[in-house]
Structure 1
Amino acid sequence: MSTGPGSEPPPEGRPPAPGRIRVVAPRSHAQHIRASTSVSQEVAEQTAVGEVMVRSLIRSQLRLALVVSAGFMASLFICWMLIRWVPTFMDWRIFGVPAPWLMLGVGVYPIIGASAWLYVRAATRNENQYRDLVDGQ
């Protein structure tokens, strides 16, 4: 007594209900395959998602470079304004050397060092955030 193609006998020997077929998934014990890929795979395989992630990192690093450069240029502009528009500053002498010379010859280097330190610190933070996002942490 068959109820249709691919049907199984009813459990416990009961006859099947008329017109009904029991359907069983053929791969109930198969391994589960992850449908989604990780972000690191997306980046490695250069998919659209990976390209967006890399472009985002590059954009954040560019934004950081522009901000630090603008800050450095603003500090140099302030030094120039001090030399240009404060006439008494032109008359100052430190160990016989005019103060504007010392400011431009020596005083700019701490500004350069501070700008570089801030840039490296912020760039490292951007890269760590990107790495955490890619690694899924």
Structure 2
Amino acid sequence: MSKRRKARPIPVECPCGLPANYADCCGRLHRGAAATTAEQLMRSRFSAFAVGDEAYLLRSWDPSTRPAEVDFDPGMRWERLEILGSTGGGPFHTEATVEFRAHYRVGGVAGDMHENSRFRRDDGAWVYLDGVVTD
């Protein structure tokens, strides 16, 4: 049986990097509101990693690529997200890409992950399909 990480305390400022509080920004998506763009979904997924919201991550993952569970590293702290670029992802698109750099800290050591993620609409809702980690 795998160990599941307990959810972290809910932050006041949203981890996604937008100038908003968590409850009004990504928190509302975590509670069930729909992302209107692929970038908004990407930001909310980063925030879900930051707060340990496995249920949201699985719900927002394409059914064809979704794992059975999310393997959180209990020593990793997701700290900051940079959106580097995107294609598609608006209200009239069915596919999108979002390139980002996610900054984290493990055991006091800073690191980052650079990924090009693909998104698609599933029954009208944006979902994460997959991504290619670079660097």
The normalised TM-score by structure 1 is 0.20
Which is greater in Rg? 1
Please state which structure has a larger fraction of its residues in helix. 1
The normalised TM-score by structure 2 is 0.20
Please state which structure has a larger fraction of its residues in strand. 2
